[in-house]
Structure 1
Amino acid sequence: MMKRLLIVHHTPSPALQAMYEAVRSGAGTDEVGGVEVVSRPALTASAVDALEADAYLLGTPVNLGYLSGALKHFFDQVYYPCLEETARRPFGAYLHGNNDATGALRALESITTGLRWRAVRPPVVVTGEPDRSDLERCWELGAMAAAEIGEV
C-alpha cells in the first residue's frame, strides 16, 4: 500500500518557493519508493488531509517572530480531530525569516509536541536569501521524511 507524505506550506515569497521546491524534490526522490507526495496550501489543508497522511512536511515564513497565520490556521483545524489518530507520525519543517526564528520554533515545537508527532530531523531555518547549502538541507529534509515511511 502506498504511503502518503503531506506537505503543508505557506509560500508567499520567492525564497520560500525555492525552499518548497527543494523539499518537494527531495520527498519525490527516486531513491525512495512507495510514497505519494501530496501538497496543500496551509489555508486549505484539512483534517482529512492530515488523517490520510503517514508523515508531514511543514513550510512557513516567520512573521513577526512567529509561525505564519496560515500554518497556525492549519494546526487550529487539525489539532483535535487528529490528536489521537496521528500520534507518533513523523514530520519535518522548514522556516524562512528575515531575522530571529526563535518564537516560531518554540511554537512549532509546542504544537507538534502536543500532537505527539516526532521530528525526523531538526527544522531547517533559513534567514535571508537561501543559498545552495540551505536548499540542499531542504532537499535532504524532504528525502528523510519520505524515507521514514517509504521503501529505501
Structure 2
Amino acid sequence: MAAKTLLIVAHAPSPNTEKLAQAAYKGANHPDIDIKVIIKSPQDTQPEDVLAADALLLGTTENLAYMAGLTKDFFDRCYYPVLEEKQGLPFALYIRAGQDGTGTKRAMKTITTGLRWSWIQEALILQGEWQDDFTEQVETLAMTLAAGLEAGIY
C-alpha cells in the first residue's frame, strides 16, 4: 500500500514564520512515521496538490485580523476544484498572530466548514511576541497529524 500524503501549505514571509514551516516539516517527517510529506507555499499550491493529499496542515499569518492574502488566494483558487472530492479531509491549522488570531480562526472555520474538512484539533494560535517554543508547538501539531494519518485515525 502506498504511503499516505500530508500536504503542508505554509505561508512564511519572515525568518520566524520560516522556522515554523520547517518545524512543521520536521514534525511530519518524524523517523517513526512513514508518510509522504510535501511542503509548499500558498502561491505554489494548486488544486491538484490538494486532490493528491490525504491530509492538510495549513500555516498562515494573521494580517489585519484576517488570514494572509496569499492564504486567501490559495482558497480562492482551490476551493471549487476540490470541494466535491476532498470532503472529510483531515485538517489542522496554525496561525502566527500578532494580535489574538480570532478573526483568522473564524474565517478558516467558515471556509473549511464549506469544504467539509475535518479538523483534528482546535487551531493552534501562536499569539503575541515571538516565543521560541512556537516551533515546538508546530512540530508537535504536525507530528500528531502525521501519526494519526499513518495510523488510519483520520
Q: TM-score range by the shorter chain?
A: over 0.9
Amino acid at match of 1:86: K
1:89-125 residue CA offsets vs partner (Å, 9 max, x unmatched): 1011111121121110000111111111111111211
Amino acid at match of 2:113: T
Aligned counterpart, 1:65: 65
Aligned counterpart, 1:77: 77
What's the % identity of the aligned pairs? Answer: 37
Aligned counterpart, 2:121: 121
SS of the aligned residue for 2:40 comes to strand
Aligned counterpart, 2:8: 7
1:24-43 superposed matches below 5 A: 24-33=25-34, 35-43=35-43
Aligned counterpart, 2:56: 56
1:18 aligns with 2:35: no
Question: Partners of 1:123 and 1:139 in 2: how far apart?
Answer: 14
SS of the aligned residue for 2:43 comes to coil
Question: Partners of 1:104 and 1:8 in 2: how far apart?
Answer: 16
Shift of 1:36: 0.5
Question: Partners of 1:95 and 1:17 in 2: how far apart?
Answer: 13
Q: Which ranges in structure 2 are unaligned for 5 or more consecutive residues? A: none
Shift of 1:66: 0.2
TM-score normalised by L of structure 2: 0.92
- The runs of at least 4 consecutive aligned structure 1 residues that moved more than 4 Å come to none
SS of the aligned residue for 1:85 comes to coil
SS of the aligned residue for 1:142 comes to helix
**Count of residue correspondences:** 150
Over aligned residues, Cα RMSD in angstroms?
Answer: 1.3
Question: Partners of 1:66 and 1:74 in 2: how far apart?
Answer: 14
In 2, are the aligned partners of 1:28 and 1:143 still within 8 Å (CA)? yes
TM-score normalised by L of structure 1: 0.93
